[in-house]
Structure 1
Amino acid sequence: MGMQHIVEDLKPFTAAAIQAAPVYLDTSATVDKAVALIHEAASNGAQLIAFPEVFVPGYPYWNWTLNPVQGSPWYEQLYRSAIDVPGPHVDTLRAAAAATGTTVVIGVNERGPHSLGVLYNTVLTIGPDGSLLGVHRKLVPTWAEKLTWTGGDGGSVRVHQTPVGPLGVLACGENTNTLARFALLAQGELIHVANYISLPVAPADYDMSQAIAIRTAAHSFEGKLFSIVSCSTITEEMIEIAAGDRADIAKMMRRPRSALSGIFGPDGQPVTEPLIDEEGIVYGEVDLAKCIQPKQMHDIIGHYNRFDVFRLHHNTTSLQPLVQGPYPAAGSPPRHGVDAVGDPWVPQDPETN
């Protein structure tokens, strides 16, 4: 999609950032809640709807509060509650996006297709016609998350051409990865969706809501774009599982300022008051025309860079556990697709396929 086409289609629209908790470890009920929230946000005029990280069916808080042996049964329960991509739960979400004519971004726990036990922290991007535009797997699980999730690959770090504009996604701590963010910016990203989980189990001096706001503002200001940030909330059921009979853990998990959701503009400022800790939906106007003038000052993917000095290589190969057939000839591209065993989903780009 060229810039001329984008300029011709620049129309303000409403984005919605969902701050909510899943029906913890109940996949069907959580998907039903997501569908209801999609319809609610759409009825209020939203054309882009962003959900939290691993909203379906929840985040493994036990990794932070139990030792690995104690947490292992909960890992199995999360695996059993995770979803397949593609699969029936994805179809339900796709149908809701199509029924409302909205672009939907939602985090899920995805079962790996090639191994019983592999889980991915995955972000789905669904178009307003119900098409599955993107399946992004978090590149590096953060800290204790390594006990649960396998890392993804660069094949899913992509900007999708949607009716609301060029859209990219990153999950939680990935928004701290400067190179991942630059890879999206260099593909022409103008709308960024960052999804998070409420993290009260961080160190005592760590303000998660402030950390989310800083990262969101930084990407918006550096890229001169709009960011929609969506964060989950904590429920008593999550606290009961993660804390057990530890009162100190339960107190920590109720710590305030652990979640923030909102919409930020190309000046790095929120376009409306963000929501902290409580469940709700934040609505805000996204006007991509406001991204033009700020780039005259700092366009880090254009005139405000020196590509003869700095260069980023982005490996977009979709990695596979097994490639069948003879070794490829020297210099030939890596095999994937029909020759590969493992992941059946390959990102589709209508401009190159």
Structure 2
Amino acid sequence: MKPIKAAAVQAAPVFMDLDASITKAEQYINQAAANGAALVAFPETWLPGYPWFVWMGAPVEAIPFVPRYHLNSFSINSEPMRRLQAIAAKASVTVVMGFSEVEGSSRYMSQATIGPDGALLSVRRKLKPTHVERTIFGEGDGSDLVVVDSEFGRLGALNCWEHVQPLVKMAMYAQHEEVHVAAWPSFCLMRDIAHTLGPEVNNAAAMLYAVEGSCFVVAPCAIVSQEMFDMVASTPEKANLLNTRGGKPGGGFTKIYAPDGRSIGNELAEDEEGIVYAELDPTLILIAKAAADPAGHYSRPDAVRLVVDRTRRRVLTELNVQPPGPPPATRRASEPAVGSED
């Protein structure tokens, strides 16, 4: 790994407005590049925004939001993706973007890793959407547990509570990950009701990932803007669920962790849009792995080991597909069949 400066974006998107949100992403990417960053990471489904409406009541209440959300999601081979690739290339930075991916009429919680030349290094899907996220998102498969060779080192990414799934984490560690992007939505949902959804537990999960994997963890966390709050928290009961402390923008708790678990880089207030920067020194990985390399001397594959099925799930498998050309001749109904005694 090469030493680099990493940038984790803490901001709200222009909710369910894809074009405007990409424009906002471009501003942050250019700002990070101007400040010397080689990697710019964005929160979970930052494009077109995390769908808070799925948590605000019965699943049927989210249905009116779904068409607009779908129309502001996008596919891998699309103009919005090509626009992101061009932005990364112009800034000469590696970008990890959380987005709602469309395939057919379904959506997936995806992360795109784009190289500094604009090449799409990987697109991976969240293996299992969490709880009510499953009402609007499909799930990934073993092919989505991927670590790529970036320009500066081995780079991987996961979304949200994938960081509390032990086997998922081990699948990443075993690929000798050096820099990991842990993408999160805002830490505000049921904040005073369910402690496990708050910043204390989830940042602890990102910190522990750094220690277990002996790697750097760049953990961008979004903000719920006043616009987003007003749109989805339309009653006092819903406002209590999307608890941004008095209905104000907030929920941003972006961090960057070193392999020894230290929080490095600058701090932002939870309602402050901006970028957290940190210098990533690969020497710290060597020191951490000297004590506990999870994919090397500190593993015991003779006693416990992980099996990953890389098969990509397919709805359709075609058999006996005919090559292009005219169809084979068919026997007329009046003709005797081969082997007939007539």
CA–CA separation in structure 1 for the residues paired with 2:218 and 2:135:
28
CA–CA separation in structure 1 for the residues paired with 2:2 and 2:309:
33
Residue 118 of structure 2 corresponds to residue 125 of structure 1:
no
| Structure 2 residue corresponding to 1:275, chosen from 265, 268, 271 | 268
Q: Name the counterpart of 1:28.
A: 19
SS at match of 2:38: strand
Q: How do 1:160-309 and structure 2 match up within 5 A?
A: 160-202=148-190, 204-206=193-195, 208-244=198-234, 246-256=235-245, 258-277=251-270, 278-309=272-303
Residue 15 of structure 2 corresponds to residue 17 of structure 1:
no
CA–CA separation in structure 2 for the residues paired with 1:57 and 1:279:
17
Residue 103 of structure 2 corresponds to residue 109 of structure 1:
no
CA–CA separation in structure 2 for the residues paired with 1:248 and 1:319:
39
Letter in 1 for 2:258: G
CA–CA separation in structure 2 for the residues paired with 1:259 and 1:129:
30
SS at match of 1:63: helix
Identity, % of aligned pairs? 35
CA–CA separation in structure 1 for the residues paired with 2:218 and 2:189:
24
Letter in 2 for 1:129: D
SS at match of 2:181: strand
What is the TM-score normalised by the length of structure 1?
0.85
The CA deviation at 1:57 is 0.5
Q: Name the counterpart of 1:311.
A: 305
CA–CA separation in structure 1 for the residues paired with 2:41 and 2:201:
19
Q: Deviations over 1:13-63 (max 9, x none)?
A: 100000011100001000111111100110011000000111111111111
Q: Name the counterpart of 1:345.
A: none
Letter in 2 for 1:64: W
CA–CA separation in structure 1 for the residues paired with 2:299 and 2:269:
36
Q: Name the counterpart of 1:75.
A: 66
8 Å Cα contact 2:107-2:136 kept in structure 1: yes
8 Å Cα contact 1:227-1:264 kept in structure 2: yes
CA–CA separation in structure 1 for the residues paired with 2:143 and 2:241:
37
CA–CA separation in structure 2 for the residues paired with 1:272 and 1:81:
33
CA–CA separation in structure 2 for the residues paired with 1:86 and 1:111:
10
What is the TM-score normalised by the length of structure 2?
0.88
- 185-194 or 299-308: bigger deviation: 299-308
CA–CA separation in structure 2 for the residues paired with 1:202 and 1:170:
23
Where does the alignment leave 5 or more consecutive residues of structure 1 unmatched? 1-9, 328-353
Q: Deviations over 1:213-245 (max 9, x none)?
A: 20111010111110000011001222122221x
CA RMSD of aligned residues (A): 1.6
| Structure 1 residue corresponding to 2:122, chosen from 114, 134, 137 | 134
Q: Name the counterpart of 1:150.
A: 138
Where does the alignment leave 5 or more consecutive residues of structure 2 unmatched? 322-342
Distance change >3 Å, CA 108–CA 181, structure 1 → 2:
same
Letter in 1 for 2:265: T
Q: Deviations over 1:110-130 (max 9, x none)?
A: 111xx32x1111100000110
CA–CA separation in structure 2 for the residues paired with 1:211 and 1:249:
23
The CA deviation at 1:276 is 4.4
8 Å Cα contact 2:11-2:252 kept in structure 1: no
| Structure 1 residue corresponding to 2:81, chosen from 63, 68, 90 | 90
